[in-house]
Chain A
C-alpha cells in the first residue's frame, strides 16, 4: 500500500484553464511538499505545508496556489495554466523537519497545450 498517492497521473489541459493536482497521504505526516521537475533544473519546490491550513511559498510559486484543509490532502492549483507549467509534479511527505524519511509520490505529468 502506497502511503502517498497523486492524482491524476497524467493530464493534458489547454492554456488558460484551471488545473488542480491532488496529493493524498495515509501516513498522518505533518509536512507535505510540491515540487516540479524540469530538465536541467532537478526538482524545485513550489509550495509546502507544515500543518493543516499552514502553507508557504517555495522557490517557484508564481502561478500556483495550494490548500491543505485536512492532514491527508494537499492540493496544488494552477489558476490559469500556461505552457511554462508543463512539467512533472511530485508531492512528498515527511514526518518531521529533521528526519531523513521523505516519501515521494509517483508524479503527475502535466502538459499544457
Chain B
C-alpha cells in the first residue's frame, strides 16, 4: 500500500518569495511516480510537476521544482518567486509501479500568497 503525508495544512508566503511544500511518501514499490497538483478555488485539478523514482535529477517546470530525496522518501515542491495566483490548495500524489495507474493523494496544503 502507498501512503502520502502532507504535514502542513496551511502555509503563508510573501509575494516574490520562495516557498517549500512538504510531502513524504511510503511505498514498497521500486518503480513509482510522484506528482504535484494545484487546485485553485475554482476547483479544477492542475498538473504541476512529475518525478519518476529512477530519475536522477530533480524535476523542474518553470517556477516549480521538485526536491526529490529518495532515501528520505520525500518529494517537496518548491515554488520560486511566488505570485498571488499561486494561492491554492496543493496536493502531492503517488502512482505505484503495479497499481493500474491509481493515484494516492496526500491531504493537501493550502497556500496563501500575501502581497
Contacts and interface: CB of A to CB of B under 8 A. Distances in A.
Contacts of A107: 43-44
Contacts of B91: 42-43
Overall SS of chain A's interface? strand
Contact of B100 (A42, A48, A88, A101): A48
B33 interface: yes
Nearest to B42: A106
A84 interface: no
A17 to B, nearest CB: 24
A31 B102 CA distance: 9
B115 to A, nearest CB: 27
Nearest to A107: B43
B103 A45 contact: yes
A41 B35 CA distance: 17
Interface residues of A, number: 27
A1 B39 CA distance: 20
Interface in B99-115: 99-108
A96 B101 contact: yes
Contacts of A102: 35, 47, 101, 103
A74 interface: no
Contacts of B100: 31, 48, 50, 56, 97
Contacts of A106: 43-44
Interface of A: 31, 33, 35, 40-45, 48, 50, 56, 58, 88, 90, 92, 94, 96-102, 104, 106-107
Given A48-B100, A102-B103, 13 more contacts: A31-B100, A42-B107, A43-B93, A43-B103, A45-B102, A45-B103, A45-B104, A98-B33, A100-B35, A100-B95, A101-B47, A104-B44, A107-B43
